Amino acid sequence: MGGPDGVSVGFGIIGGMNNLLPPPRLVEPGSGSTVIAPGSAVSGPASLTDAVRLALPVLDLRPGDAATAAVRVEEDPGLGPEAYAMTIAGDGVRITAGGRAGAFYAGQTLRQLLPAEAFRSAPVPGTSWTVPCGRVDDTPGFSWRGAHLDVARNFLPKREVLRMIDLMAAHKLNRLHLHLADDQGWRVESRAFPLLHEVGSHRPRTITSHKGEPLAFDGVPHGGYYTLADLTEIAAYARARAVTVVPEIDVPGHASAILAAYPALASRPQERYEVLDRWGISSAILSPLPATVDFLTTVFAEIADALGDVPYFHIGGDECVLDDWAASPEISAYRASLGLDSVGDLHAWFLRRLADALAERGSRTVVWDEAFVSGRLRPDTIVMPWRGEHVARRATAAGHDVVATPVFPMYFDYAEAASPEEPAGLGDAITVGDVAAFAPAPSEWPEDERARVIGVQFQLWSERIPDGRTLDYRAWPRGCAAAEVAWTGGPVASEDFVRRLEAHLARLDAFGVEYRPLSGPRPWQRGGTGWRRHRPGVVVVHDVMRHLHELSLSADSTRPSI
Ligand code: ACM
């Protein structure tokens, strides 16, 4: 998409600056280059220069004065908070940023203009730290550019979360959705209700068999949780890198770990609950009575206080089996006293009460799409339509802001190919190309509904992601494609993307990312015959999609059990 006189507009790029990922909105290549060597000086307002320094750790930039600095940063409040302009000339780099995030993104772009060695943790001797001259003007297409990490099914230690934030920042992603509670584990310290982490954070074993196979378990205890201080640290680390942590406590379903700790909160309080050692949808569900709302409001407040500024709080709402509510005389009487006709209405009413409590603390609620269908949500609730475009459309038509999170192509726990070489995923197959071709706000939608799509997010459900190495393999390079869609606001022109991606992979190599090569897994990344053996067809994404399309939009369970 080259414009006149070598100017490249509308996210196309030409000339010496042609390998940026995601591509800036406008690039104007110049001639010649400049050198920004480790230890160079950066000048400007401290909050902005700090952001540039954090984006370029390998250079160890030192504060200096404007007359001699190699990188000069200025603020222009007229630009959006994430926008920046950067001019690279023979005498150094000039950055103008709308705010801290913009300065950080200018630093990230500068890092990509340097050799791939800029992605290492320390300078490698012999590197030529040259940057091509030219000009960049940039601002994102979507405000929500998300990555979701399920740390409940398989816990990821804090160091992996911090590393994920570094990788998100390198791709200008800005929302880290942490799925902190599910049937298989509760992952945060609670001082108010300590049994949550003491009992809910571990299980004695984990299922190894797949759907249709004889049940088998590994016999290996699994667990872990973040202390409240860990959460404070993670949120501050993220904030410094222009990433907002979005905590999720998934309720009222997916609640086995909570109920193992506090069974009195169950709809069948006489039942004994355990942290689940297998996947799939559980019928364990919290009671909707006021004691549960009080309990959750207290726990949400603890988490929000630990995180600091919490603009968004996700409360789940998905895959609820409401049978226990229907069977309980006490819950039925409560429902009737509220004038509600069905357990579906009660589900919506319960989530609405939690959302109102969060709003009082200044957080906007986010939900999976099952929570939206009853029409009782607060109008400011953000909906994540995981069941696809038809639900997304209904949510935007109803006036909700939407973050596009459809199974296809945004569930990165699905394998990249239906091949015996692949390690087992939750299903087959979601490719880099599928992600790049995704249109979060399809052009055929009415303009007002398109405007309600505030972003896009990929999901890393962790049933088949037991560790950081597997996380790398699943997340990248599909995450690169998602970052392009999120930054540019639409599907990506495939040939240009693939060319830039090939260059970008050298940066990921330098960073130390064990991504999936475009040609397929490396020998040691293959499925093999052990626990990660690929079972093509166990859950096939197209079947799942057909199933999802057939669904009536109720609060029914919809995720395939495995
Ligand atoms: C989901 O996959 N249940 C949001």
> For ligand 1, is residue 408 a contact (CB within 6 Å)?
no
Residue-wise pLDDT tens for the chain (562 aa)? 333 333 333 333 333 589 999 999 999 999 999 999 999 999 999 999 999 999 999 999 999 999 999 999 999 999 999 999 999 999 999 999 999 999 999 999 999 999 999 999 999 999 999 999 999 999 999 999 999 999 999 999 999 999 999 999 999 999 999 999 999 999 999 999 999 999 999 999 999 988 778 999 999 999 999 999 999 999 999 999 999 999 999 999 999 999 999 999 999 989 999 999 999 899 999 999 999 999 999 999 999 999 999 999 999 999 999 999 999 999 999 999 999 999 999 999 999 999 999 999 999 999 999 988 767 899 999 999 999 999 999 999 999 999 999 999 999 999 999 999 999 998 889 999 999 999 999 999 999 999 999 999 999 999 999 999 999 999 999 999 999 999 999 899 889 999 999 999 999 999 999 999 999 999 999 999 998 899 876 654 444 444 444 443 333 333 333 2
| pTM summary value | 0.94
Q: Does 526 fall in a domain?
A: yes
Q: Is residue 399 one of the residues assigned to a domain?
A: yes
| Known active-site residue 183 | no
* Final residue in a domain of this structure, among 123, 138, 153: 138
Q: For residues 14 and 3, what is the distance between their CA atoms, to the nearest angstrom? A: 10
Contact 318 CB / ligand 1 (< 6 Å): yes
Q: Are residues 87 and 178 in the same domain?
A: no
Beta-strand ranges (E) seen in 443-483 are 453-460
Instruction: With H, G, I as helix, E, B as strand and everything else as coil, classify residue 399.
Output: coil
Phi, psi of 453 (to 5 degrees): -80, 105
Chain CA centroid to CA 224, Å: 20
Q: Is residue 7 part of a domain?
A: no
From 31, 26, 57, 20, select the one nearest 42 (Cα to Cα). 57
Regarding whether 176 and 41 lie in a shared domain, the answer is no
Per the structure, the count of domains in the chain is 2
Boundaries of domain holding 334: 144-551
CA of 385 to the centre of ligand 1 (A): 9
Is the residue at 557 inside a domain? no
Cβ-contact 110, 170 below 8 angstroms: no
Q: Which residue type, as a one-letter code, is found at position 261?
A: A
Domain boundary among 99, 116, 138: 138
269 and 394 belong to one structural domain: yes
Angle in degrees, CA 548, 559, 153, rounded to 5: 150
8 Å CB contact between 117 and 167: no
Q: Going by C-beta distance under 8 Å and a sequence separation of 6 or more, which residues neighbour residue 99?
A: 75, 77, 79, 80, 81, 82
- Which residue in this structure is represented by tokens 């929570």? 371
From the CA of 494, how far away is ligand 1's center (Å)? 29
Nearest CA among 247, 340, 362, 366 for reference residue 288: 340
CB distance 175 to 146 below 8 Å: yes
Tell me which residue of 223, 147, 149 sits closest to 187, measured CA to CA. Answer: 223
**Active-site position among 254, 314, 504, 534:** 254
Task: Decide: 248 in ligand 1 pocket, CB within 6 A.
Answer: no
CA distance 399 to 395: 7
534 with 479, same domain: the answer is: yes
Which atom from ligand 1 is nearest to the alpha carbon of 316?
A: 4
- Average pLDDT of the chain? 92
- Kindly give the pairing relationship between strand 202-203 and strand 364-368: unpaired
Same domain for 54 and 157 = no
Residues 280 and 322 in one domain: yes
**441 CA → ligand 1 middle, Å:** 20
User: Among residues 103, 138, 173, which one ends one of the domains?
Assistant: 138
The pLDDT value recorded for residue 320 is: 94
**How open is the CA angle 255-261-263, to the nearest 5 degrees?**
70
CA count, 13 A, side-chain hemisphere, 48:
24
* Same domain? 298 vs 398: yes
DSSP state of 24: P
CATH number of the domain that 129 lies in?
3.30.379.10
Which residues have C-beta within 8 Å of that of residue 522, sequence separation ≥ 6? Answer: none
Q: For residue 384, give the ligand 1 atom closest to its CA.
A: 4
Residues 109 and 229 in one domain: no
From CA 427, how far away is CA 486, in angstroms rounded? 24
Would 15 be classed as within a structural domain? Answer: no
C-alpha to C-alpha distances, 164 to 86, 158, 462, 513, 521, nearest whole angstrom = 26, 10, 14, 10, 21
CB within 8 Å of 428: residues ≥ 6 apart: 414, 415, 417, 418, 422, 536, 537, 539, 540, 541
**Which residue, 104, 176, 98, 166, is CA-closest to 144?**
176
> Phi and psi (nearest 5°) for 137?
-125, 125
Report the C-alpha gap between 465 and 48 in whole angstroms.
37
**Structural element, H or E, at residue 336:** helix 329-337
Q: Among 386, 411, 430, 539, name the best residue to mutate to test ligand 1's pocket (greatest count of ligand atoms within 8 A of Cβ).
A: 386
Say yes or no: 89 and 152 in one domain. no
Six-digit token pair at 491? 């599907």
In short, whether 172's Cβ falls inside 6 Å of ligand 1 is no
Task: Verify that 275 and 313 share a domain, yes or no.
Answer: yes
CATH of the domain at 310: 3.20.20.80
- pLDDT tens for 53-104 read 999 999 999 999 999 999 999 999 999 999 999 999 999 999 999 999 999 9
AA identity, residue 517:
P
Asked whether residue 42 is domain-assigned, the answer is: yes
Residue 5 domain flag = no
Q: Is 386 in the pocket of ligand 1 (CB under 6 A)?
A: yes
Task: Kindly state whether residue 560 falls inside one of the protein's structural domains.
Answer: no
The verdict on the CB of residue 155 being under 6 Å from ligand 1 is no
My answer on whether 73 and 168 are in the same domain is no
Q: What is the CA(443)–ligand 1 centre distance, in A?
A: 26
Q: What is the pLDDT of residue 376?
A: 86
Examine the residue annotation and report whether 319 is marked as an active-site residue of this protein. yes
CB neighbours of 337 closer than 8 A, spacing ≥ 6? none
Please tell me whether residues 326 and 194 are part of one structural domain.
yes
Question: Tell me, what's the pLDDT at 257?
Answer: 98
